[in-house]
Amino acid sequence: MPEFIEPVPRPGAQAGKRELTKLQNRQTILEAACRVFAEFGYGATTVRDIIRATPLASGTFYNYFKSKEDVFQAIQDDSALRIRPRLHEERVKAQSIEEFISVTFRTFFEYVASDESNFRAIRRNTDTLRVRMDTPEIIAGFQELREDIEAAIAKGVFPMVDADYLMAAIVGVAFEIAERMLRRDDLDTRAAAQFATALFMGGIGALPQPATGQGCGDS
């Protein structure tokens, strides 16, 4: 279960028992929501479900969040907040296309693996329905990726390419492969990153030889 980033109390404020309980309740709700979203999917989840997964009273929920959308967004933002700065930071340091791409995938897949339940809440797979919510934070993350690509083009690290489509391609590959990765028995983030990076560096011809038994047989 991920630990959510806690809103920083105003500096100077003593974190009294009151504050502590407040933060704990917020945590409790976020974690319960994360579990519930991961289990039922976002669409099927109701506020009631979240409350039920909590020792708290229904009224208490509304002291912290306005709706299920609100909690969901908090989870997402939280998630994006943890991963985005890392991604950005690594990318700006990149001296080559390869570094840029490879660090992007590596960081993303590692995050996904380390925070599986959270990722599942965002991108859920039952047999039939996937939901993915792109909160402002996440959208900002996409935007940032695009800007980083544009900056890299400007720096001459990247050739002139359609940054919008490239961003889309990276995002698509990242999410889709992350999902397949989670279905495999061993959580080999390195292999996943290597695959994606090779694809973006040299296309299909440059892809690594597969380890045997990589698929999971189903769709």
Partner DNA sequence: GATGAATGAGAATTCATTCAT
Partner DNA sequence: TATGAATGAATTCTCATTCAT
Q: Which residues bind DNA (CB under 7 A)?
A: 16-18, 21-22, 25, 46-48, 55-64, 66-68
By a kind-dependent CB cut-off of 5 to 8 A, residue 58 interacts, out of its own copies, DNA, none, with DNA
Residues forming the site for its own copies (CB under 8 A): 42-43, 69, 73, 97, 101, 125, 127-136, 139-140, 142-143, 146, 158-166, 168-169, 171-177, 179-180, 192, 195-196, 199-211, 214-216, 219
Compute how many other C-beta atoms are within 10 angstroms of the C-beta atom of residue 116.
Answer: 16
Closest separation in Å from C-beta 11 to its own copies: 26
User: What, of its own copies, DNA, none, does residue 203 touch, CB below 5 to 8 Å by kind?
Assistant: its own copies
64 vs 175 by CB, closer to DNA: 64
**Closest Cα partner for 133 from 119, 146, 117?**
119
Phi first, then psi, for residue 71 (nearest 5°) are -60, -45
- Residue 133 CB partners (closer than 8 Å, separation 6+): 42, 72, 73, 76, 122
Q: Which of 172, 173, 168, 175 is nearest to 146 (CA)?
A: 168
**Binds 168: which of its own copies, DNA, none (CB < 5-8 Å by kind):** its own copies
| CB 82, min distance to DNA, A | 24
Between 1 and 48, CB nearer to its own copies:
48
Burial 78-108 (b: 16+ CB within 10 A, else e): bbbebbbeebbebbeebeebebbbbbbbbbb
Query: Nearer to DNA by C-beta: 48 or 183?
Result: 48
The alpha carbon of 142 is separated from its chain's Cα centroid by a whole number of angstroms, namely 11
> Between residues 57 and 81, which has the closer beta carbon with respect to DNA?
57
Closest separation in Å from C-beta 131 to DNA: 14
Binder of residue 81, out of DNA, its own copies, none (CB less than 5 to 8 A by kind): none
Give me the residue label for tokens 């279960």: 1
Q: Of these partners, DNA, its own copies, none, which one is at the site of residue 173 (CB under 5 to 8 Å by kind)?
A: its own copies
Q: What contacts 54, CB < 8 A, 6 or more positions away?
A: 28, 29, 32, 61
Smallest gap, in angstroms, from Cβ of residue 35 to its own copies?
A: 19
Neighbours of 219 (CB within 10 A): 5
- In three-state secondary structure terms, 123 is strand
**Nearer Cβ to its own copies (110/134):** 134
